[in-house]
Structure formats: structure tokens, C-alpha cells
């Protein structure tokens, strides 16, 4: 294998849960990764709340909580109205790890990490993640697109295809993986300080096949493990190339579990009287603001329709805390229609898991100050509903039912991302994805930005 080892290597495999990885290491599905794990025991790692890839990766690439970097989910409310906005790297308020390293003179490479589109200017190459619309726009510098086009590089597998035909999805996932790895080994021929390639197909295969694996489906269960075998073969080639000395991290950003129900939380807020839809519903946020005291964004991000803050706010500031408590109580009342088990495990308030730039915690802030916070922190949800595993929170403002089942079989979980690291000094306890930036910078001898979280008090509290 030609090519040379970067000074720091990361291969991230999106959404592989610790438990599944343990099983695959133990049962011989991923022998090459198992070999790496012999010297550096796999650990469990916490993700982010709410547990979505773009937030998890934004926390990874900044080492900061969302109230500093500004990415709270895949959708936001557009400024000035009740319409949807789609955050991307333009909305990220701080430098990402490739920029921080670039400014320290390091040569960097990143490929397909969620939340990196449009790619920012770096000292090296940055290729955007799965929300990049076309290959000609995916890369910084733009000239790299020509190489990527020449190999028929795939930005992402086709999720629409997965909904229609799961067998066809498998072929599509293989092609996407093969092209990604071809590009990775191509770029590894150059000299890099920091090299990060991401595999997204694992998240897709888990979303669409996880229940089939649990049921031990005779076709899809073996096909599922075959995908991971292929990933492992590439891990083997990579390990041959980089040798035994290079610091490396192989990890996922969150776990996964089978879905019991997709839960249309906006519909539940309509049922409980908090949200009133607009007469003509055009999109998932078409609410009647004059009659709505609250609304939600995916997943489980509930906003108080606060007067003076929201464009058509109706809840006066003095009622903010009371409304939050009443909303919390209602959310916790939501029950599984069959088993009557609670759906929501806990409801967090914004100051519990977010803290603004220049601080390490928002715990001491009064509810009024929290409600009126400006800037990036002020865009946080007022309440974050955290579901029990198995209940995937969606929007569904106009949905016919609150509890539905679709082609999706798996959902993200918070506690159980995995981490295998060699020759990197990670925090000993309670590892979370936001803690990774510091040790990487340290290993490369680069000073972390002053406001970086991920140590001391600036970690996400969780028992």
C-alpha cells in the first residue's frame, strides 16, 4: 500500500452503538478493529442532547457546547417568522478544528464529517458532509471537486432509495463506502498533520435495518454484518498504512436502538393545546402564533412562544417559568399507546445543558435572563424533551396520529457511542464527544481556543 501516515488519524463511523461494536469485535465481524482494540480498550462515550449527528459533530469539531457554536439541530426557526431554516457551517459561530489547526500552521484534511458544508477555508482540504448538494460544491479548495468527480465520488447514500427498496440500498451503500475509501487512500498519499475521514453509511444501515438485525432476518441480518466486514477490511488496509505508532481514534458520534414508535411531538402539543396550527399548513412550523403558547422543532426541542423574543410571541416574560413547568409536566405525561409506559425520560431546560460563550455554566442564571438571552445562546430551545430509547421524536404538526411506524427501524441514543483510541490522552471519566478536541490539539501541540469547553465545569452534566 502506497501512502504515508498522517501525524494524527481519525476514522469516524457514524452512529455505531457501543453494544453492537462490542458484539462485532467479539464475534469476528471486525477482526482488524479488534486487533487495534487489544492495545487500547474500547470505551463508551456520551453524545449530545438532542442526539443528532450535526450537533454531535459540531460539538466534536469545536470542542464547545451548542450555545457557543450555534448548531442546535438540522432545522431552526428562521429569523423574523415561523418558517424553517436549515443550519449549515455558515451558521457555525466559531472556528472548527481544521481551522484552529490551520491557523497553527498544521496541514489538515477532512472528508464527509457532518456539519462541514459549505467547506471552510483551511490549510489543506476540507470535503463537506452529507448535506452538501453537489460534488462540484463539496470541497475546499473547489479544484478538488474535479478529482472527486473523476472517481464518481458519492457524497452520501440515497436515503430515498432505502425507503423504497432496502436491497437496492445495500448496493448503494457499498458504492458510497468504496468511493469514500478510494478517496481516502488517494489523499493519504500526501503529507498531513491531521487527517479525518468519516463513514456515514453505518448510520444509514442502522436507521433502515436495525430491527431486521434484532429479528435475525435471514437476508438482511447477514447483509448488515457484511457491510461492517467491508468497513473492517478498509480499517485493516488503513492500519497497514499508518503502522503501529500513529495516534489514531476510531469512534462513533452516538448510539442506536430499534424504534418502537416515531412520535409526532408537534401533534401532541396540538392535542394538549400548546400549539395551534395555521389554517393553511405549508411546512412543519406553520403555526398560528397568536394562539400558540409553544411549538417544537425536531427532535424534542420545545420553544415557549415568548412575547418580545419570538416574532409573534404571546407568552409574557413573567409567565415564562410557569409555562415551562406546565409544558414539562405535559411532556412527561405522554404514554405509549399499548404499554402505557412513559415516552419522555426527562425534560431539560436550556440552562441545564447549554451555556453561552465566555462561561462554563448557565446554572446560576435566573429564568428571566435565560428567557431573554441574546446571541447564539438565545436560539436554544427552552425545553429539551429526552425520550426513552425506542421513541423517536419527530414533528408531525399535521399528522393523523401521534404514534406511527415507518420504514425507519433505528433511532439515535445518547449514552452509547464507542471510542477506540491509541496514543491519545482522553479524559478518564464520563467521556463525551465534546471532550475530544482538546486532546487532539494537545497531541499536535496546538493551544486550544480560550473559550473551549470539555473539561472542568464546562462539560454536560449527566448521571
Partner 1 sequence: MDKLDELESQSIYIIREAYYHYKKLAVLWSIGKDSTTLVWLVRKAFFGKVPFPALHIDTSFKFPEMYKFRDEYSKKWGMDLKITMNKAALDAGMTCEKKLDCCNALKTNALKMAIAEHGFEALLLGIRRDEHGIRAKERYFSPRDESFQWNYQDQPPELWDQYKSQAEEKTHIRVHPLLGWTEVDIWRYLKREQVPITDLYFSKQGKRYRSIGCTTCCNPIESNARNIDEVIEELETTNTSERAGRAQDKEDTYTMQKLRALGYM
Q: Whole-number minimum distance, CB 376 to partner 1, in Å?
A: 16
Q: Whole-angstrom Cα distance, residue 74 to residue 48?
A: 14
Please identify, using beta-carbon distances, which residue of 311 and 445 lies nearer to partner 1: 311
From 127, 138, 180, select the one nearest 157 (Cα to Cα): 180
Rule CB under 8 A: say whether 130 interacts with partner 1: yes
DSSP string over 292-308:
-SEEEETTTEEEE-BTT
Determine which residue in the list 133, 171, 222, 337 makes contact with partner 1, applying CB under 8 A. Answer: 133
Rule CB under 8 A: say whether 86 interacts with partner 1: yes
b/e burial code for range 437-448 (CB count within 10 A of at least 16 → b): bbbbbebbebeb
The C-alpha cell at 106 is: 498544521
Please identify, using beta-carbon distances, which residue of 99 and 246 lies nearer to partner 1: 99
Determine which residue in the list 103, 163, 333, 335 makes contact with partner 1, applying CB under 8 A. Answer: 163
How many CB atoms sit inside 10 A of residue 189's CB? Answer: 10
Is the Cβ–Cβ distance between 431 and 43 less than 8 Å? yes
Rule CB under 8 A: say whether 142 interacts with partner 1: yes
Classified as helix, coil or strand, 401 is coil
From 173, 305, 235, 269, select the one nearest 37 (Cα to Cα): 235
Binding positions for partner 1, 40-79, rule CB under 8 A? 52, 74-75, 78-79
Query: With DSSP H G I counted as helix, E B as strand and the rest as coil, what are the percentages for the chain, rounded to 5?
Result: 35, 20, 45
Rule CB under 8 A: say whether 167 interacts with partner 1: no
Rule CB under 8 A: say whether 427 interacts with partner 1: no
Rule CB under 8 A: say whether 403 interacts with partner 1: no
Q: Whole-number minimum distance, CB 110 to partner 1, in Å?
A: 18
Determine which residue in the list 34, 56, 395, 419 makes contact with partner 1, applying CB under 8 A. Answer: 395
Rule CB under 8 A: say whether 308 interacts with partner 1: no
Q: Whole-number minimum distance, CB 329 to partner 1, in Å?
A: 27
Rule CB under 8 A: say whether 261 interacts with partner 1: no
Q: Whole-number minimum distance, CB 452 to partner 1, in Å?
A: 26
How many CB atoms sit inside 10 A of residue 26's CB? Answer: 10
DSSP string over 371-396:
HT--TTGGGS-SEEEEEPTTEEEE--
Q: Whole-number minimum distance, CB 132 to partner 1, in Å?
A: 9
Q: Whole-angstrom Cα distance, residue 132 to residue 330?
A: 38
Size of the residue set binding partner 1 (CB under 8 A)? 36
Rule CB under 8 A: say whether 310 interacts with partner 1: no
Determine which residue in the list 3, 19, 31, 118 makes contact with partner 1, applying CB under 8 A. Answer: 118
Rule CB under 8 A: say whether 168 interacts with partner 1: no
Please identify, using beta-carbon distances, which residue of 93 and 159 lies nearer to partner 1: 159
Please identify, using beta-carbon distances, which residue of 83 and 341 lies nearer to partner 1: 83
Helix (H), strand (E) at residue 85: strand 84-85
Rule CB under 8 A: say whether 162 interacts with partner 1: yes
Rule CB under 8 A: say whether 434 interacts with partner 1: no
- Stretch near partner 1 under the rule CB under 8 A, chosen from 58-66, 153-161, 236-244, 266-274: 153-161
Q: Return the axis-axis angle of helices 220-242 and 201-214, rounded to nearest 10°.
A: 140
Rule CB under 8 A: say whether 223 interacts with partner 1: no
- Stretch near partner 1 under the rule CB under 8 A, chosen from 40-48, 131-139, 266-274, 379-387: 131-139
Please identify, using beta-carbon distances, which residue of 370 and 395 lies nearer to partner 1: 395
- Stretch near partner 1 under the rule CB under 8 A, chosen from 64-72, 152-160, 344-352, 420-428: 152-160
Rule CB under 8 A: say whether 280 interacts with partner 1: no
Q: Whole-angstrom Cα distance, residue 151 to residue 198?
A: 18
| Pure H helices in 279-361 | 320-333, 350-353
DSSP strand pairing (124-127 vs 344-349): unpaired
Rule CB under 8 A: say whether 171 interacts with partner 1: no
Q: Which residues contact 277 (CB under 8 A, 6 or more apart)?
A: 270, 286, 287, 288, 397, 398
Rule CB under 8 A: say whether 136 interacts with partner 1: yes
Query: How many angstroms separate the Cα of 188 from the Cα of each of 61, 171, 184, 237, 242?
Result: 21, 26, 6, 12, 9
Torsion angles phi and psi, residue 296, rounded to 5: -135, 155
Is the Cβ–Cβ distance between 387 and 343 less than 8 Å? yes
Determine which residue in the list 38, 41, 105, 143 makes contact with partner 1, applying CB under 8 A. Answer: 143
Q: Whole-angstrom Cα distance, residue 14 to residue 270?
A: 34
Binding positions for partner 1, 363-392, rule CB under 8 A? 392
Determine which residue in the list 394, 422, 437, 453 makes contact with partner 1, applying CB under 8 A. Answer: 394
Rule CB under 8 A: say whether 406 interacts with partner 1: yes
Give the interface with partner 1 as residue ranges (CB under 8 A). Answer: 52, 74-75, 78-81, 84-86, 88, 90, 118, 130-131, 133, 136, 141-143, 156, 158-160, 162-163, 207, 262, 284, 298-299, 392, 394-395, 406, 408
Amino acid at each position: 500500500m502506497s501512502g504515508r501516515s498522517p501525524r494524527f488519524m481519525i476514522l469516524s463511523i457514524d452512529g455505531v452503538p457501543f453494544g453492537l461494536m462490542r458484539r462485532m469485535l467479539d464475534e469476528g465481524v471486525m477482526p482488524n478493529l479488534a486487533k487495534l482494540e487489544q492495545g487500547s480498550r474500547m470505551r463508551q462515550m456520551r453524545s449530545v442532547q438532542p442526539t443528532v449527528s450535526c450537533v454531535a459533530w459540531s460539538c466534536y469539531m469545536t470542542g464547545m457546547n451548542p450555545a457557543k457554536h450555534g448548531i442546535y439541530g438540522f432545522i431552526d426557526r428562521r429569523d423574523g417568522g415561523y418558517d424553517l431554516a436549515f443550519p449549515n457551517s455558515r451558521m457555525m459561530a466559531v472556528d472548527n478544528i481544521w481551522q484552529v489547526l490551520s491557523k497553527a500552521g498544521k496541514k489538515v484534511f477532512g472528508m464527509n464529517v457532518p456539519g462541514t458544508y459549505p467547506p471552510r477555508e483551511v490549510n489543506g482540504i476540507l470535503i463537506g458532509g452529507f448535506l452538501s448538494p453537489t460534488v462540484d460544491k463539496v470541497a475546499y479548495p473547489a479544484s478538488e471537486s474535479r478529482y472527486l468527480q473523476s472517481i464518481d465520488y458519492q457524497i452520501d447514500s440515497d436515503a430515498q432509495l432505502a425507503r423504497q427498496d432496502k436491497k437496492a440500498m445495500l448496493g448503494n451503500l457499498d458504492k458510497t463506502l468504496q468511493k469514500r475509501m478510494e478517496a481516502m487512500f488517494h489523499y493519504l498519499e500526501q503529507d498531513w498533520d491531521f487527517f479525518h475521514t468519516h463513514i456515514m453509511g453505518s448510520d444509514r444501515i442502522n436507521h433502515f435495518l436495525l430491527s431486521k438485525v434484532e429479528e435475525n432476518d435471514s437476508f438482511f441480518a447477514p447483509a448488515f454484518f457484511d457491510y461492517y466486514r467491508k468497513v473492517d477490511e478498509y480499517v485493516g488496509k488503513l492500519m497497514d498504512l499508518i503502522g503501529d505508532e500513529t495516534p489514531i481514534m476510531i469512534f462513533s458520534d452516538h448510539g442506536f436502538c430499534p424504534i418502537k414508535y416515531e412520535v409526532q411531538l408537534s401533534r401532541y402539543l396540538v392535542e394538549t393545546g400548546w400549539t395551534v396550527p395555521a389554517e393553511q399548513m405549508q411546512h412543519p412550523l406553520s403555526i398560528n402564533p397568536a394562539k400558540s403558547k409553544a411549538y417544537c422543532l425536531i427532535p424534542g426541542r420545545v420553544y415557549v412562544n415568548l412575547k418580545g423574543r419570538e416574532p409573534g410571541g404571546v407568552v409574557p416574560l413573567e409567565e415564562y417559568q410557569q409555562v415551562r413547568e406546565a409544558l414539562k409536566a405535559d411532556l412527561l405525561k405522554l404514554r405509549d399507546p399499548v404499554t402505557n409506559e412513559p415516552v419522555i425520560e426527562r425534560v431539560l431546560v436550556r440552562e441545564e445543558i447549554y451555556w453561552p460563550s465566555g462561561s462554563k455554566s448557565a446554572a446560576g442564571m435566573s429564568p428571566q435572563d435565560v428567557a431573554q438571552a441574546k446571541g447564539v445562546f438565545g436560539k436554544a430551545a427552552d425545553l429539551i424533551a429526552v425520550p426513552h430509547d425506542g421513541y423517536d421524536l419527530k414533528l408531525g404538526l399535521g399528522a393523523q396520529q401521534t404514534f406511527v411506524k415507518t420504514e425507519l427501524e433505528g433511532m439515535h441514543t445518547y449514552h452509547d457511542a464507542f471510542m477506540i483510541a491509541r496514543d491519545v490522552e482522553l479524559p478518564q471519566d464520563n467521556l463525551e464527544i465534546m471532550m475530544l478536541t482538546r486532546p487532539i490539539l494537545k497531541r499536535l501541540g496546538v493551544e486550544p481556543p480560550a473559550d473551549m469547553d470539555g473539561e472542568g465545569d464546562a462539560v454536560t452534566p449527566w448521571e
